[in-house]
Amino acid sequence: MREGLITRGVAVAIVCAGLLFHGSVVSAQVTPAAGYTPPDDTPTIKVGATIFADYTYQTTSDATDADGNSVDPNQFNVARAYINVTGNISHLLAFRITPDIVRQSGLVSLATGNSVTSDSLVYRLKYAYAQVNIDDWMTKGSWVRLGMQQTPWVDFEEQIYRYRFQGPIFTDRETYLSSSDVGVAFHTNFPKNFGDVMVGIYNGETYSRPEANDQKAFQIRGTLRPLPMSALLRGLRFSGFYDADHFVKNGERERFLVSPTFEHQYLNAAFQWVETTDQISAVTGTKVEGEGWSFWATPRTTKGFEGLIRFDHLEPDDTTDRKRDRAIYGIAYWLPHQGTVSAAFLLDYEQVKNTNFAVPVPRQERIFLHALVNF
């Protein structure tokens, strides 16, 4: 399986490089025509916010309180709260800074020398990067980023899925990939809207942890839009993604993913197949190879109502019979808005089944009311 991962990863890189070379040649800069208007270099800055809030009711639980009473756990929660600061120094240089709220649990030391258990919401950094726009020399949408930034796959799928406020996408939820990491990345669009490619080198430890050693993650995503001029099928895209990383030298951490996606006025949908390899130590660690798939669809109306159907299936170790299956069903209402502002409510049901794990995990069933505010 490892040889297959490497072979497919190399294939993704070769295809992307070929398409990129082709796009660069087609879009070569020419002498500006008469009447050329120079780009606007006026510095700008914008401040926005993103809020994920929910009410969760767990329907399957054997929990009891301090007096031994049966408890059905339920709670109000703020899962995410971003402050987005974006801007441009000139048409060539842009930036973004985004703090992220997260729940932190553990022991906190007091000035008295004692310790107490804390469960607090604290802010940490999610994105902080500088972006050099190279549209003057390549196709529009070409740039180079340096800093804490989006990784090639997660952000790409979330832009189509739109339901991150319900929960992470499959590869993120199972902790195989992260939405943000620290590194340098390059992106460009192919001419005539035939697709795009993004490639980057990252620490590989995600934005929540510092670099642990000298190993770096190479990640690449290539996307082809075969029928960009078709009114019906221009939203169809085929993507390949490869992540070559190491826990330690010769201790592989690899992910390979293929996915068709579809976007339309009345339906967004995607399917993906994922293969993984993890070896924490090349000396003492056992190589673990897994695979899984995810399918989701969001049928919608023109009145703001939208459905959510999602199925995830994971086999984390192909030498065992362990499986995890997740099903999500929901109905959402997206409030009318202008521009990039968005707000929605989602009533959904989630069921998770874990089979043949060493430590038995009971079936989980939850009912949610989710809310999103983004501006």
Tokens of 324: 């995890």
Tokens of 344: 């929605």
pLDDT for the residue 346: 98
Q: pLDDT class for 12, splitting at 50, 70, 90?
A: low
Q: Read off the pLDDT of each residue in 1-14 and give the average, rounded to a whole number.
A: 51
- The CA-atom distances, in angstroms, between 91 and each of 87, 143, 189, 242, 351 are 10, 11, 18, 31, 47
pLDDT digits (tens, 9 = 90+) for 71-109: 888 999 988 899 999 999 999 999 999 998 777 766 555
Q: Read off the pLDDT of each residue in 305-317 and give the average, rounded to a whole number.
A: 97
Q: Read off the pLDDT of each residue in 184-189 and give the average, rounded to a whole number.
A: 98
pLDDT digits (tens, 9 = 90+) for 273-282: 999 999 998 8
Number of domains composing the chain: 1
Note whether residue 315 is domain-resident.
Answer: yes
Note whether residue 135 is domain-resident.
Answer: yes
Note whether residue 267 is domain-resident.
Answer: yes
Q: Which residue has the higher pLDDT, 59 or 246?
A: 246
Range of the structural domain that residue 176 is part of: 2-20+45-374
Note whether residue 229 is domain-resident.
Answer: yes
pLDDT digits (tens, 9 = 90+) for 120-154: 777 889 999 999 999 999 999 999 999 999 999 99
Element (H, E) at 202: strand 195-202
Residue 14 has pLDDT above 50, yes or no: no
Of 203, 194, 201, nearest in space to 222 by CA: 194
Note whether residue 32 is domain-resident.
Answer: no
Please give the mean pLDDT across all residues of the chain: 88
Tokens of 135: 């549209």
CATH label of the domain that carries residue 129: 2.40.160.10
Note whether residue 29 is domain-resident.
Answer: no
pLDDT for the residue 287: 92
Note whether residue 127 is domain-resident.
Answer: yes
Note whether residue 117 is domain-resident.
Answer: yes
d(CA 46, CA 341): 13
